[in-house]
Amino acid sequence: MQTDSLFYLIFQTSPGILFELIGNPNERASTYSFASQEVKQTSFRIDGIMVPPIYATDLPIFFVEIQGYKDTKNVLYSSFFSQIFLYLHDYQPKNDWQAILIFTKRSLEPGLPRQYQDFANSSRFRRIYLDELSQREELSIGLSLLQLIGLKKDIAPIKAKQLIQRARQEATDVISEGKILELIETIFVYKFSDKSRQEIEEMLGLNELKQTKVYQEALEEG
């Protein structure tokens, strides 16, 4: 599983986390669905698109791209915007739209090309740098999950255990305890690909937790 797949899995599980990330919590976030979408008559496939219900034309469509590596071919922005406009041309949605480009760290930002400078200060376009999330006063559980993906291996287990403890203590309507623990484990399976799932469960202290009645009930409710 690639880094972007982890982000998409989290957004599919809890669309509200994307709204938290852009600093715009939305009571109707749960009505959105997150998926990939083919662009007709082309080889393009938009990997991350969050759409509201078909009847909610007052809500915007969100196009999401994750960048976790250096753009050596200098095609990041041209590819992203061309996919968006092809989608708008092909599907002719009545909704407004916004584009969200998420970098795992700011150093991967190649800079907005001259041809797209009109988007630099546009409300339609946002750039997020996950390595700067720690500068926010307090991270929600959802944002902490996103941050966990980009943490170094020596720090990640400590942060994950803290997050597991928070998940057990804090009631949240955004994402259930069982799903949080599942996502943390999935992140670590990716991050520590040389370790077995059992070793990862032991690393995080999940092996005993999974046997508890509280965990089983949380998983069923999730």
80-91 pLDDT, tens digit each? 999 999 999 999
* 122: three-class secondary structure by DSSP: coil
**pTM, to two decimals:** 0.86
Residue 127 sits in the same domain as residue 199: no
222 occurs within a structural domain? yes
Q: How confident is the model at residue 179 (pLDDT cuts 50, 70, 90)?
A: confident
- Output the pLDDT for position 135: 81
Q: What is the mean pLDDT of the chain?
A: 88
Domain boundary among 103, 136, 169: 136
Helix axes 177-191, 3-13, angle to 10 degrees: 170
C-alpha 159/C-alpha 97 separation (Å) is: 34
Find where tokens 């968006």 sit. Answer: 84
CB 60 within 8 Å of CB 96: yes
pLDDT(71) > 70: yes
206 occurs within a structural domain? yes
Find where tokens 């928070």 sit. Answer: 166
C-alpha 152/C-alpha 149 separation (Å) is: 9
Report pLDDT digits (tens) over 1-56.
578 889 999 999 999 999 999 998 888 999 999 988 877 766 667 779 999 999 99
- Output the pLDDT for position 214: 58
- Output the pLDDT for position 221: 58
185 occurs within a structural domain? yes
Residue 193, domain extent: 151-222
23 occurs within a structural domain? yes
193 occurs within a structural domain? yes
CB 151 within 8 Å of CB 3: no
143 occurs within a structural domain? no
pLDDT(209) > 70: no
144 occurs within a structural domain? no
Residue 125 sits in the same domain as residue 166: no
Residue 17 sits in the same domain as residue 122: yes
CB 157 within 8 Å of CB 205: no
Domain boundary among 106, 136, 166: 136
Residue 163 sits in the same domain as residue 121: no
Partner residues linked to 67 by β-bridges: 103
